[in-house]
Amino acid sequence: MSIKVDKFVISIIIVIVLAYFFPEWGIESSQIPIDAISEIGISLIFFFYGLKLNPTQLKAGLKNWKLHLLVQGSTFLMFPLLILLLRPCIQNEAQETIWLAFFFLAALPSTVSSSVVMVAMAKGNVPAAIFNASISGIIGIVLTPLWMGLFVDSIQTDFDFTEIYIKLIVQIILPVILGLLLQRFLGDFARKHSSKLTLFDKSIILLIIYKSFAASFDNNIFSVVSFLDLLFLFIGVVTLFIIVYSLTGFISKKLQLNNEDRITAQFCGTKKSLVHGTVFSKILFGNMATLGIVLLPLMLFHATQILIISVIASKKSR
């Protein structure tokens, strides 16, 4: 029996290996403008989405309140409650720090770009994904500090999020609107070359994956703890992902959501924003010596979730 190996999975592995041996290409001081390329690429992806979106389907997607409640409930309730169940198991200060790091991960909002790209690749409900991933960041401004305020003594709330949401509007919302406005002129072209646009989507995803792993390797984020501790953290984030992914799928079936909505619920409801995590960490933890440990589960979850969802999305796209 022959086993067909997914080319995209191979590409992901190659990208991670490249990030390990050549992390300097993806760091901020690199002369290669990966950030600019990925940002332009993401904007183009959403522009093409706008070209292919049906306005009638978009309006219908926004009215899908069951899906929206499931995604936001998974992001801001299911994740934190699962981690809260482990709090009675804490026995010392070190375990308290690790638990707080996982709870910080659980309290974060979803991220827009990779969530929507993965949903589109898997042929899920893209309009609903755009809506849920976008609104998640706004809800997170309120709910994430509230959740963390239960366990962090001092919280500063004077951080300016304006830049983040201006970037969200410029990079995500405006390209989609522009695509919708130009749909009657370029919509047929976009649908005709759908396979090439999918290849473009995957290329941008690989760039994001490289950037994520390159930053981790360059900052020696994986050397902060011992191998056994890292293995424990890795098992923890994978277990957390599997539980939430399975629960959202189970609830989706109980709510009788169609396949497209189920994909959106499981992909968007399991995503956590590395960007928001970095920003919130400055607000909640300041210059704590354990900040690296606090961010480590988020870094591991971010990279692991992208990797697993990329594989699942690639399979579902076929």
Minimum mean pLDDT range among 133-147, 210-224, 244-258, 285-299: 285-299
pLDDT score, position 279: 66
pLDDT of res. 5: 54
pLDDT at 102: 93
Please report the pLDDT score of residue 294 as a whole number.
75
Report the amino acid identity of residue 9. Answer: V
CA distance 79 to 220: 27
- The whole-number pLDDT of residue 161 equals 54
Band of pLDDT at residue 157, cut at 50, 70 and 90: very low
Question: Range with the lowest mean pLDDT among 147-151, 157-161, 229-233, 276-280?
Answer: 157-161
The better pLDDT of the pair 224, 194 is held by: 194
Percent of the chain clearing pLDDT 90 (strictly above): 20
Question: Distances in Å between the alpha carbon of 94 and those of 98, 156, 314?
Answer: 6, 24, 39
**Residues 203, 208, 214, 216, CA torsion sign:** negative
pLDDT beyond 50 at 289: no
pLDDT at 225: 67
User: What pLDDT is stored for residue 148 in this prediction?
Assistant: 84
Mean pLDDT of the chain: 80
For position 282, what pLDDT does the model report? 64
pLDDT digits (tens, 9 = 90+) for 3-34: 455 576 678 788 888 988 988 887 777 778 88
Residue 199 pLDDT grade (very low, low, confident, very high; cuts 50, 70, 90): confident
Range with the largest mean pLDDT of 183-187, 281-285, 295-299:
183-187
Cβ proximity of 67 and 107 under 8 Å: no
Taking alpha carbons only, the member of 112, 166, 165 closest to residue 134 is 112
Q: How far is the C-alpha of 260 from the C-alpha of 3, rounded, in Å?
A: 27
pLDDT reported for residue 251: 96
Q: Which of 46-55, 72-81, 88-97 is the most confident on average?
A: 72-81
User: What's residue 3's pLDDT?
Assistant: 44
Higher local confidence (pLDDT), 184 or 72? 72
Locate 111 and state its tokens: 């991220």
Q: Is the pLDDT of residue 194 over 70?
A: yes
CA angle 54, 184, 187 (to 5 degrees): 65
